[in-house]
Chains A and B, each alone.
Chain A
Amino acid sequence: MRDTEATLPADPQAYVEQVMAEIAEEVRLRRASGDLPPKLERELDELFLAHSPVAGRGGDLGEALRMVDAATFIDPVVPVDSERAAGAVVKKGMRSLLLWYVGWITHQMSQSASAVSRALHIVDDRLKELERQVEVQRVPGAAVVEFPALHRPDAWWVEPAVAAVAKAPGRVLHAACGDGWLVRRIAAAGGDAYGVDPRSHVVDRAELGILDLRGEGVAEHLRAVAAAGLGGIVLSGTVDGMAGGERTQLLAAIATRLAPGGTLVVHSVSREAWDSAGAPPEADLSPGRPLRPETWCRLLEEGGYEAAAQPGPGGEDFLVTAVRSSVTTPYSPPER
């Protein structure tokens, strides 16, 4: 495959950009044809996670402690099996000669490991007690809050949202995606879209074989996305009810996962609609309430985006479109 003789393009940069677009189209067609179902890609991730150490699988202290306990005892009686006839005899002799020395060392190591294990169990007990206390004061994560009249394919904001991300420089994530109605629209406009939604019952109903939809929350999902791995993100029904800290963490995660030049689209209901009698019960149960469009623009501009807000025709909702600066800067929440 080396030493090829081919005519070089007059404008290499434009040629490479054209190739990149063709590769993106090839991927889109492959996905549409079902050659590489999204489910398989998810299974790859899960398979690798199964090989990662305990901390990499979510930091289960209980499981880690069980591993520590299992490894605490160090056996000084080494195996003596050998493929050679005299090997086992020689090894056994060496083991007998050295056992007094090795045994003394391993005994101390086992004692040391036991002491560490005991200390870790005490820490575990105290942590559990702290967790019980914290649980009482815990602020629950925001649920998806969807208004039937606003979160639907023929809503006014869908067209501008799709236009904003259809040509994004990379994959486009929609949260919360529901049964994938917006993912389908973005894909039809030429974008490579997928979705996440914590409401597993909604995702289960979707056409999972065709659409790449995942049953998880947006923050949880972004933690597993590579840096600058997304070209566009559409948030609808996810951020309105978030508490301040949860929203800040989400924006910080987006700042690292969205590629420079990528687009963030936020659809939010207005405070009036949120407090209206027609709002769904999830609105009442949410720890936070929607921000105003001006606040969104300011937050995003402070985070390195160029942001613009577009009010909905009935005053019930608005759309914020923000393009991330092409210069990478880490997101740091403004001090307030």
Chain B
Amino acid sequence: MKKALPFIAALVLLLVPLGVSNQFFLHVGITVLMWTSLGVAWNLLGGYAGQISFGHAAFFGAGAYTTMILFLRFGLAPWYGMALGGIVGALISIPIGLICFRLRGPYFSLSTLAVAEIIRLVALNWESLTNGPVGLLITSLPHVSFLGITVNWERKEPFFIIIALLALCSMLAAYLFVRARPGSYLAAIREDEDAAEAIGINTTRAKVNVLALSAFLTGVAGGFYGLYFRYVDPDTVFLISLSIEMVFIAVVGGLRTIGGPVVGAVFLATIAELFRDRLASGHLIFYGLFMMLVIRYLPEGIWGRVRRALNMRR
């Protein structure tokens, strides 16, 4: 019964747009699902490998820009662009990883921040590629039909389904990766990196691999962002606070859990909605506060704690 639960939940999720037509509700759902994907992606590196990255916005932005540029300049449909966005994210993660993984702990974290900032500045100034601070805008999405039905891009339903599939695939990918051999290596690295080397694990390669997967998933989500919001500029998609929000989702939800980011994303989206009318970034106050509270009182995250409580009841 327990094993079937995630599948049932997934099925229910995909059927939501059939039952719900409230556009606002769907919009919130889309936001939550996008953040879930991002949280799952970040968690692979941060929770499972123990490498706290503050620079994931770089991959998000890379994916978003790739999708936008491929569509606006070359006419490539955004759904393919999304996949390529992920690939671009993964590709740039390799040199980034090779540089940053030379450091450990907080120093690694801040190096990722520096890298992300450099990329943001490049995006801001390389106007011939990215249009600089003006950003890129999609005015209309291509005409397409699926199973005989023309997709109505004016409504939220198609986007909901896309992001739901994306989130589910991300979670599945993460789950499979963690269960397999690479995932075990990550546990060793997280516990003691030198000892991991001493038992024959190529720690650099393992870290670069998990980063590539993490960056790929982040990039695809970035591509979705471009598809859904249809506008990107360097200060929206390369911003540090984006990276911090990913950290937040994973930490509050539960590092080292697959389901944690869902909880974290729901939290984040709820707070964001509650405070959006009051003040533009008032919600960040609560992110900071909650992060502190969670680390202090619930270091395994909300979902982590719940899961432990459920396990204990046997």
A-B complex is real: no
Binding site for B on A (CB under 8 A): none
